[in-house]
Structure 1
Amino acid sequence: MLSLDDRLRAALAEDIGRGDATTLATIPPEQTARAEFLLKEPGVPSGLAVAARVFALLDPGLRVTWSAREGEWRERGVIGSVTGPARPLLSGERVALNLLQRLSGIATLTQRHVDALGGGHTRLLDTRKTTPLWRDLEKEAVRQGGGTNHRAGLDDGILIKDNHVAAAGGITAAIQRARGHSYLLKVECEVPDVAGLEEALRAGADRVLLDNMSDDLLAEAVRVRDRLAPDVTLEASGNMTLERLPHVAASGVDFVSVGALTHSAPALDISLNLTLEN
């Protein structure tokens, strides 16, 4: 796994290339500046430390201060500033803002989903539908929005999906093979209906993923679980919307996973407004 600094340096190299031609042509090397981060819509700031690190890697003389805290809902307004040499400030602006807007967008969308669940028993999970190489930051943004992380990768949990079931020859066979492979990892199995749920419970799954079930079927699945294996947790997934989440929570499932938190979160509108000094 590449370190954060290595990834940020690669992002800066991609953007700056052989040199920031516009800045080098128009800004004298001795020029200093101050720029304010302006939150232009309500949301949850996330990625503040990452954005600050972008500027630090370009020039240690750049100083970033924040008036907002990560994970705290904010209305519109200034949330921080960066001061120092104007050239590296301008050259790092786009990479810093791209990350800040992306991560804040994820945290904000997560917070909206958590609010829609109503603060009861059901917890919100993310998925592995993340930007390659930036998963750790995006999952941190989910946490800052009040969500809970599912697997970080394929190595820290067994999740038997429909293709695994098909390749293994059925739900029971897949779960039994998973049990034989590892006694340390929890085993979760995806099922399409209540009959599949009953089979997964009898086969010994630790958690069952209820895929694309209606709200009525989710409630029935909870009743079946309570009767057959009350210690097994249930996760609902598929076609989840903010409007639907209160009904999903009312069904009694333990978790609801939403891929849109990371694959479809709109960037939060944040700008960087610069004024020259000296």
Structure 2
Amino acid sequence: MLKTGVVQVVAKGTDVAFVIDDNAPFDVVAPELKDYLAKQSGLWSKGDITMNVGQRMLVREELAQLKSIIEANSGLRVTRFWFSPESLDNGELKIEAKPPTTVAPAKPPAQPPAHNELVLPEAQPETSDASISAVESIIESLKSRQNKNGTRNRNITEALFIKSTFRSGESLRHHGDVVVLADVNPGAEIRADGDIVVVGSLKGWVHAGASGDNKAVIIALELPSSRFQIGKYTGVAPVNARRQPKSSASGPRIAYVRSRSIHVAPFAGRFARYNKGVPYDG
């Protein structure tokens, strides 16, 4: 989850939702939303999102302005507005679905929207970004790995691609794999139930396999971070690894769990070949 001011971004699987503070004045929300999109322009270059607007569901003019701000300042399309059921508790927000028609339609009618949703026209699917193809070979090698029961195979669409630098103070929680096409700076945090791939320098704190998957891995073009976690195991770089010159540690690195501890080795493309990595004992 990314959080900044009046905007929270929640990712679950391939779904991304913007949560807008419904207590903040709209003249505060609008400029902060513009500022967030400007600072994260590389992150939101394309895709479809939903918006949790809370009490603002009652003010259609504000919904139109929120949609306009997001689509004018990013490559995103707003496909649905909704509010949490808790918004009904105060008795002010009442939106009812239309009753079903009594005339038999020629075709089966589409399922009516829930009482807490406002559905917008669906956008046409977007083509994949060219930058994604640059790391497909790494991702495909990860997806080819599996345990004895074959449960390690995942679909590539479960990966969340981040296209801008993760800065200090930013955090993300994702229920699949995470691929960062930039650096992860000190003070930034990423938790993923699957693998974490950083096509840049990993200097922040990351936790792969956060839901307990000890077979998850961390891959980075540069891995100067001295502390990270995979499943239930915490890795801390040995003193000699921390003092190692950058030139001697060039090339992609992979962190994985073996013999109940985290090991780090040069990334070679196939998980089964890793057996002589440097132990990072927590």
Q: TM-score, length-normalised on structure 2?
A: 0.29
More helix by share: 1
Structure exhibiting the larger radius of gyration computed from Cα positions? 1
- Give 1 or 2: higher strand fraction: 2
